[in-house]
Amino acid sequence: KAGVTQTPRYLIKTRGQQVTLSCSPISGHRSVSWYQQTPGQGLQFLFEYFSETQRNKGNFPGRFSGRQFSNSRSEMNVSTLELGDSALYLCASSPNSATNEKLFFGSGTQLSVL
């Protein structure tokens, strides 16, 4: 069974640009969550999608947005990039977002904003 796949693996952008990251969950998983990891702030929750609906959102500005498609694949978009958006963006999936389920993480997309 394939794991969580995130593309691209690395990305370099300049300030003011926008970026779209992609996440394909494990087959059969309907919940997809996104996290940002930086050396200073650690891992922070961005949002969670379940069956194409955003169920929960973290404390990030509106420049950060996401969506989920009918096949459970998810994308997140960051507009008007800032230097502080440089981070490892991790996607995680689980079958039903139930409280007894482990999360399975992808290898992440390393975003560098210059």
Partner 1 sequence: KQEVTQIPAALSVPEGENLVLNCSFTDSAIYNLQWFRQDPGKGLTSLLLIQSSQREQTSGRLNASLDKSSGRSTLYIAASQPGDSATYLCAVLETSGSRLTFGEGTQLTVNP
- Binding interface with partner 1 (CB under 8 A): 4, 6, 31, 33, 35, 42-45, 48, 50, 55-56, 58, 88, 90, 92, 97, 99-108, 110
Report the distance separating Cα 92 and Cα 94, nearest Å. Answer: 7
Nearest-approach distance from CB 2 to partner 1, in angstroms = 14
- Least distance from partner 1 to the Cβ atom of residue 98, Å: 9
Chain-centroid distance of CA 27 in Å reads 17
Considering the complex, state which of residue 16 and residue 93 has its C-beta at the smaller distance from partner 1.
93
What would the two tokens of residue 68 be?
Answer: 């989920």
Q: Cα–Cα distances in Å, from 49 out to 18, 54, 57, 62?
A: 21, 4, 9, 16
Rank residues 19 and 46 by Cβ distance to partner 1 and give the closer one: 46
Q: How far is the CB of 61 from partner 1 (least distance, A)?
A: 17
Smaller CB separation from partner 1, 73 or 105: 105
Gap between the Cα atoms of 65 and 48, Å rounded: 11
